[in-house]
Amino acid sequence: MKQCKITVMRKAFYADLAALYENPLACACDLQEGQVFITDGYTKPQGLCDSAWASLSSFVMTLACGGEDIYDGWMKNKKSAMISCNDGFRPVSFYIEVIE
């Protein structure tokens, strides 16, 4: 199994949606753009939230096991994926790539 590098590419915050629907949080997402995580393919990297891992893990596992060209030509690098976490108020985009 190959290792994968997960890079935080972009964070967003939809203040209008949060104002309408979210209960205030004491601790919102603390990931930083450019932050990097390394995984063996099946272990959640330390510091990555459970919610993000739930969104990423199937793509990470596919790439770590040698899968490529997810969604038939979607990515320029066939051994990568761009996936966002499932937080509707503060989505984070992650670039996942195989470490050769």
Q: Which amino acid is at 36?
A: V
Mean pLDDT for 46-52 is 93
Whether the predicted pLDDT of 28 surpasses 90: no
The whole-number pLDDT of residue 89 equals: 93
Question: If you count DSSP H runs as helices and E runs as strands, how many of each does the chain have, helices first?
Answer: 2, 4
Whether the predicted pLDDT of 2 surpasses 90: yes
Whether the predicted pLDDT of 20 surpasses 90: yes
User: In sequence order, what E strands does the chain have?
Assistant: 4-11, 36-39, 80-84, 92-98
pLDDT, averaged across the chain = 94
Read off the pTM. 0.93
